[in-house]
Structure 1
Amino acid sequence: MNGCGLIFAILLAVSTAMASDLDSLLDRLREDYSSNVPPEESLKIVEDLHSDGTWSGPKYHEKGHTPIEHLKKTRTLAESYAYACAGPTANSECLKIKEAAIRSLLFWFSREEDFVNDNWWMNEVGVPRELAPIALLLWDELPDSLRTKIIRCFPELPSRNGVNRTWISELVVIRGILERRDSLIYDGLKNIESTMLVTSREGHQKDHSFFMHGNLLYNGGYGKMALSIGAKWASFCRGTVYAFNQETLDAMSALALHGNRWMMWKGMVDPMVLGREISRKDDNKNAGGYVYIIRNLESVDSSRAEDYSLWKKEIKGENFLSGCHYFERGELMVCRSDDYYISLKMSSRKTVGSESINRENRKGFWLGAGVLSVYRHPDDFKDIYPLWDWSMLPGITCYDKSEQKEKRVTNESRFVGGLSEGNIGVATMIVDRSGIYAKKTWVFINGTIVALGADISSRIDSPIRTTLDQRLLSTDFSLEAVPAVGDSLESLMVLHNGIGYRSLDGQTFKVKVENREGNWSEIGTTKFVEHGKIFSLWIDHGILPQKAKYAYLMEVGAKTGHLTSGHKERILVLQNDPVGQIIYDAANHIVCGTMFRAASFKFNQQAFFFDVPCVFVFREDGGFLKDLLKKDLVFEK
């Protein structure tokens, strides 16, 4: 064989292999989109289809609105046809399903100019994402005129950032598959891979948190979607010329195992990593949706099979991940064990504390101001959000305001940081926003939380308070009450739901239990009424406080009498002022806290000087401090 013949043979072999791999990709994609929809279910949809190709229900005449429900019904028809009617088994019922699907598509494209949405996402992503399974499952049955119109809906080039780029890149791949254009498939897949890698922009961060919409922590919402798409295509492409490279697989696994896995517990996804989706009833708060992601990751990443297996067990209610983990980029602390899950959501000027878009999360003004969530059971906060007083989120210091009119809100201070080591975590922030200023530190040690606040000042003519907790009332509730004015009680110690609360500086807590009713429509777009008894616990700082402070302890797993039996001496507040916030844990022999500026402090006869602001942990041995663990908090202006 001469040289030209050899080259031709090689090219032919490569071309044949690529065609075979494309067919494998198409088969896997169709299998993924297929759903076990029996024909009888689809026949009801067929019966309801009008002669003009419309259904009763979708809003076809609302300006700026896309009747996406129309395409969802068409998708059900396509899934049913692919499930029960493919091949020689087709019958008259199958023909009715196919004819109805085609008629609905003909109507859609006759009116598509009327269905342009005010939201770009629906036009560029939402509509083609619904068309994709319809096209792939019915492609061989569609007339050429419809094929041409469908293909036109899919982009040829990836665009945008973060998960938006992931979505659009997936659509580029699907167009490439439909047109059998390898250049589009490669380009789309390359861009899906790129969105799995660590970036300083929107997307996967170096600490494995995930940002969207201007550095807003979103692992449980957009981050989950990015992982879902990335893992799906990695699995589809395995063993083909389109296979993902190892760097991408490692990045996806890191985001999944060292990011998202930490932010869920016993089947519950932390609502603090859902962004505005916290205002959607049940949406993404259940970890069950991760099983699909894990299955796809397992198919391409056998080296981490044990981790994936344990993660699946955790989704069913077990726990194999313990300790404290601080996400420096995400400004989130997580401490967890088999007995509890604790998270602290902070935000600095570098990140976004909360967003309100499309009428969602309309009361999230203080999210990101130091929200402290303590779980003893996965459903401790289930469906509480319409019942919350959103100006009393657990952990925050603020006044009576919750409505978020701005698209995004954040902190004016850059001072937010933390460190974690084993079962110990220290986190700190300066709250400087909307007329209130406060220096705050939290220490986490084996299920005990010490919270310190100092330099609390306000320019707002309204009562300022620090909320310890606001949760659904448990039957396990006791306190040592003292007389109080109004409809609340006061106490120095409270026990509720196995969590003990004790004042460390003599300030009394205000306690209130009340029946509440709330509608999800007050915070989002879902219409559903919730009822429940709410337990609230807070410290009142008065109106226009100047340099107020607080110090309290929370202990998970506390029992009656536990807070008074020897625990007064266990935690000592060594310093709580504008310069530093430091505690000594005598039981665990730890001194730790925050220095807000260069300064020194003394412990017994030892003096320590810190030349820059920091959070730190010392081990105490025989009255002496050693083994310093420190994180400097120096920020660019």
Structure 2
Amino acid sequence: MAVLFALLCLITAACSLPYPTNNTLLLTSVSSTPSSSPVVLSTPSTLLTSTSLSTITLPSPTSYSSRIESISSIETTSVFVNVSSSSPTSTAAPSTSTVDPVTLGDMQTVLQRRLSFITVSSTNVSNISAWLSSLDSAGKWPDSEVDYSTGCDAQRANWPAGNHWIRILTMSAAWHGGLQGAEQWVKSEPLSNAISLAMSWWFDRDFTTPGCLDQGGTSSCPCGTPGLWNTNWFSNVILVPRLVGESCLLYNASLSAQQFNSCATMTARSYDTFYEGNKSYLSGANILDVAKIGIDLSLLTTNATLITEAYGRIHAEVVIEPGIMVDGIKPDGSFGQHGGLLYNGNYGKDYSNDVLELEIDAGGTQFAASTASQDAFTTLIDGDQWMIYRNVLTNVLHWDFSSLPRFISFPVIDAQATGSLNLNLSEIQELGELWNSSTMSDVYNSLVKPTKTANAGYLNGNRNFYDNDYMVQRGDGYVSTLKMYSTRTKNTECTNSQNPLGFHLADGTLYNYVQGNEYEDIAAAWDWNLIPGITVDYGATPLNCNNAEWTGLEAFVGGVSDGKVGAAAMKYTNPYTKTLSWQKAWFFLDDNVQHVIVSNITSTSNASVYSVLDQRRHAGDIYVNGHRGTPKSNASEPTSSLWHGNMGYTFDAPSTCVSVSVGEHTGAWSAIGTSTQPPTTVDLFAAWIEHKDLRAPVSYSVFPGTDFKTFQQKSKQRTIRTLQNDGRISAIYDVDNEKVYAIFWDVSGGTLHSVPSILQGPATITASGNSAVILDLKSRQLSVSDPSQTLTTLEVDVTFGVLGRKKAAFILPTGGAAGSTVTKKLT
């Protein structure tokens, strides 16, 4: 930071370093002088118009200090060049530095596009008049409108004081021009005065203690330390600096020298975290957020080196990250954040928005993405589409709840990750055209189509996300998503008091979206021990924030998929209490049918063990054993079939005890997070199987997206035969489609006997190791995977009745592709 403020001393009449640091950010860069007369960017005539800097190459993360010490002197002359869209008489123009004409042109292009992006993204323009009226003469809004609580007294998540800058950003966009509905405010003097007052009010109160950046509330920045800061690093490193940088770019023409100084200080302080040792939070989406702040700083100060480096950081991050629990884009198209959590929603969404915005900005310039980054981001967008569903009642696209772990704690009205997709589909289309990506164009064309069911884009088939223990089945009229966890992944998180009750959110959670409103805004009221799809010893695990996040204890978790159908397997031991363990297999079959097998249950607690069918909004009639009626709440009785809300279930054993609960439940959003919305009352439907005899395996079929009449017909016509269901093998035969699905749980594999054959005599399947297998008896296509991700080879022997033995040897994928499917045709 010393170089930064040394340079800013040239801009202002007086300057003092707010704090020293050994890690410095070079604000001004100089390229080699071209053979023709150089184009030089300069400050106004009242400021110094030359610097003494040499050509600088991009540094390693720890080399800034050594670079500064070795700088040699050259003299540069200056001409006045205005690089913003603002007035050429700005009192805070960029510092003087030599930039070659090509780079200058590319920076101009990026700047104009950035200004356009920032402007059109601004919201609440209709509130500007009210904001002007309530802003006081010092530049502060009433505490009743903006909660300015700071330091240890402030709310950690979604810092309310940040609304001060959100208002400034909207006002700056209106003043700059290009914001629809804000034409009256373009270059408005009253609006300009208000922006300036509000900016200066915050700048005058900016913290100056270094530790407050990301160590607030510790000895490095004790409670009571002066200034506006938050104990959550995100507010100080990303939230506020991003708003500051964007506001300053828009308002650049009217910034005073002191304001320009503060704009540069706050954004550089954020970017400088790249050089301040190992910051654990600088991973995945956070890298892109901080790099984007650096790009805005480079455009504000006309720094060619900085913009090149910042884009370089982005492209170094936008790659496939195959490592276990490493944040970023995974080989399977999922997105990981916080070391082992599936986060295509929220963090992945923020990541995608950054890439879309910055790569469209850089299109056609030297800062554009490499082929590797383009391919990686395309992989992410392709994976995203499988996790998106539509609420047909509101016509809003949403992320699957399993892809936004702790953000389940927000209602839609809070406009957080549960509020909507919050991705600009037109930008996906635009970047797809820019990159000539048919995949991105197809995703755009798919998602913009209106649908009458939750299956946005009419995307059908099965996809196994082996890097994050997640499987999706999409069919006619529904979307089913299955979330598991293993030794390679985590179940959930509780951060900033959000999601304290979410321990069970990856215990084989199965969401079934038909209309898309099934689970919307119910988390405050639902029973956190009855998460849809899980098997649980009810109430035996304490649910609290301190003990919500766990890495799984079992490695054998994953699935096999041929793209159309799939099978998933989860071996589970409760990592907290260790009192419950089980094995569970989910088979996603042709013709929109699913089959579930639960086996090998052991429990050492006194709690009842349930397998939850669903817990969702109550939606009309309920049919039990074919008869309509409202069952007694929580009554457990032998059940052969159940139907509700276009979801049907049939149970292989007529003695299966199923409980159904229907009624209104009330809960407080404040009890599960930081939402300030009032308590909510929801009419809920819940159904679960009670495992009265833990030794008895349970199996049942599911018919998603099916009305009652069709369910009655289909459930009678469809034939699914359980071949084996115990601790060694879970296997079924889909008679109608002549496909065998098998999970070999044992490390040594095993042999599945009595497999029906299309020719005379029974078939057998023998696997040499723990594996998941799908065998199509008609086509003889064999698909296999190793859910444990430990095997490198697998042998499968199949006998086809009188045809004899067919043997297939597989070399299994490793690294980031471990757990993925390999397919061969038996010949």
TM-score, length basis structure 1: 0.91
Q: Give, in angstroms, the shift of residue 565 of structure 1.
A: 6.9
Give percent identity, aligned residues only: 23
1:9 and 2:36 matched = yes
Q: Does the C-alpha gap of structure 1 residues 39 and 454 become closer, same or farther in structure 2, counting only changes over 3 Å?
A: closer
Match of 1:539? Answer: 689
What letter corresponds to residue 594 of structure 1 in structure 2?
I
What are the within-5 Å matches in structure 2 for residues 75-90 of structure 1?
Answer: 75-83=169-177
Task: Report 1:214-613 matches (<5 A).
Answer: 214-257=339-382, 259-266=383-390, 267-282=397-412, 283-285=416-418, 286-287=420-421, 289-291=423-425, 293-304=427-438, 306-314=441-449, 319-401=457-539, 403-405=543-545, 406=547, 408-433=549-574, 434=577, 435-445=579-589, 446-480=591-625, 487-488=634-635, 490=637, 491-506=639-654, 507-526=656-675, 527-542=677-692, 546-556=694-704, 557=706, 559-560=708-709, 562-563=711-712, 567=716, 570-597=719-746, 598-602=749-753, 603-604=755-756, 605-613=762-770
* Deviation of 1:566 (Å): 6.7
What is the SS of the residue equivalent to 1:454? strand
CA offset at residue 325 of structure 1?
0.5
Name the counterpart of 1:50.
136
Equivalent position amino acid for 1:477 in 2 = I
Call closer, same or farther: CA 1:316–1:298 in 2, change over 3 Å. farther
Match of 1:194 among 316, 330, 341: 316
Q: Which has the larger radius of gyration?
A: 2
Residues 572, 583 of structure 1: 8 Å contact kept: yes
Q: Secondary structure, in 3 states, of the residue corresponding to 1:630?
A: strand
Q: Which residue of 1 aligns with 2:104?
A: 19
Q: Kindly provide the CA deviation profile for residues 230-289 of structure 1, in whole angstroms up to 9, marking residues without a partner as x.
A: 1111100112222222221222122112x1111112323211101211111123332353
Q: Which moved more, 1:31-40 or 1:453-462?
A: 31-40
Compared CA separation, residues 50 and 608, structure 1 to 2 (3 A): same
Cα distance in 1 between the residues matched to 2:671 and 2:248: 38
| AA matched with 2:339 | G
Matched AA of 1:555: F
What is the alpha-carbon root mean square deviation over aligned residues?
Answer: 2.9
Residues 134 and 268 (structure 1), Cα distance of their counterparts in 2 relative to 1, 3 Å cut: closer
Q: Which of 90, 109, 113 pairs up with 2:203?
A: 109
Q: Which secondary structure does the structure 2 equivalent of 1:261 belong to?
A: helix
How far did 1:372 drift? 0.7
* Aligned partner of residue 204 in structure 2, secondary structure: helix
Give, in whole Å, the separation in 2 of the partners of 1:315 and 1:484: 37
1:226 is displaced (CA, Å) by 0.6
Q: Aligned match of 1:182 in 297, 304, 307?
A: 304
Higher helix share: 1
C-alpha spacing 1:40/1:494, structure 2 compared with 1 (3 Å): closer
Q: Which moved more, 1:411-420 or 1:292-301?
A: 292-301
Q: Judge which range, 526-535 or 412-421, deviates more.
A: 526-535
SS of equivalent residue, structure 2 residue 724 = strand
Q: Is the 8 A contact 1:479 1:494 kept in 2?
A: yes
Deviation at 1:219, TM superposition (A): 0.3
Partner amino acid, structure 2, of 1:105: M
SS in structure 1 at match of 2:612: strand
- Relative to 1, partners in 2 of residues 1:122 and 1:455: Cα closer, same or farther, differing over 3 Å? same
| Equivalent residue, structure 1, for 2:55 | none
Q: Name whichever of 509-518 and 122-131 sits farther off.
A: 509-518
Range with greater deviation from structure 2 (599-608 or 337-346): 599-608
Contact 2:340 2:488 survives alignment (8 Å): yes
Is the contact made by 2:330 and 2:467 (CA closer than 8 Å) also made in structure 1? yes
Separation of aligned partners in 2, 1:611 and 1:219? 35
1:524-579 Cα shifts (integer Å, max 9, x gaps): 2212333232111111124xx65442111111215348447773870111111100
**Count of residues in correspondence between the two structures:** 625
The 3 A distance-change label for structure 1 pair 38 and 219 is: closer
The change in CA–CA distance for 1:427 and 1:10 in structure 2 (over 3 A counts) is farther
Q: Label 1:84 to 1:43 Cα distance change in 2 as closer, same or farther (>3 A).
A: farther
SS for the counterpart of 1:287 is coil
Per the TM alignment, residue 498 of structure 1 is displaced from its structure 2 partner at its CA by: 1.9
- Summarize deviations over 1:450-498 as a string: whole Å, max 9, x none: 1101111112221111111111112242112799997425322111122
Separation (CA, whole Å) in 1 of partners of 2:312 and 2:377: 14
SS at match of 2:477: coil
Aligned partners of 1:400 and 1:462 also within 8 Å:
yes
Contact kept? 2:478, 2:512, Cα under 8 Å: yes
Amino acid at match of 2:436: S
SS of residue in 1 equivalent to 2:368: coil
Unaligned runs of 5+ in 2: 1-31, 41-98, 208-226, 275-281, 391-396, 757-761, 792-827
Give the aligned residue type for 1:8. S
| Counterpart position of 1:144 | 257
**Which residue identity does 2:686 align to in structure 1?**
S
Cα distance, 1:560–1:37 mapped onto 2, change above 3 Å: closer
Distance 2:665 2:251 in 1: 50
- Partner of 1:355: helix, strand, or coil? coil
**Alignment match, 1:100:** 194
**Paired residues of 1:54 and 1:107 also in contact (CA < 8 A):** yes
Contact 1:79 1:137 in 2 (8 A): yes
Q: Which moved more, 1:6-15 or 1:239-248?
A: 6-15
Distance (whole Å) between structure 2 residues aligned to residue 385 and residue 111 of structure 1: 39
Distance 1:410 1:97 in 2: 52
The Cα shift of 1:101 comes to 1.1
CA separation of 1:315/1:387 partners in 2, compared to 1, >3 Å: closer, same or farther? farther
CA distance in 2, matches of 1:127, 1:170: 13
Query: Structure 1 residues 215, 39: CA separation in 2 closer, same or farther (over 3 Å shift)?
Result: closer
1:334 Cα deviation after fit = 0.6
Residues in 1 aligned to 2:389 and 2:403: alpha-carbon distance in whole angstroms: 13
Aligned partners of 1:493 and 1:563 also within 8 Å:
no
Paired residue for 2:9? Answer: none
Residue 163 of structure 2 aligns with which residue?
69
In 2, distance between residues paired with 1:129 and 1:572? 58
One-letter amino acid of the structure 1 residue matched with residue 335 of structure 2? F
CA–CA distance in structure 1, aligned partners of residues 721 and 283 of structure 2: 48
Residue segments in structure 1 that go unaligned for 5+ positions in a row: none
3-state secondary structure, aligned to 2:777: strand
Residues 583/373 of structure 1: CA separation in 2 closer, same or farther (3 Å cut): same
Distance 2:370 2:273 in 1: 19
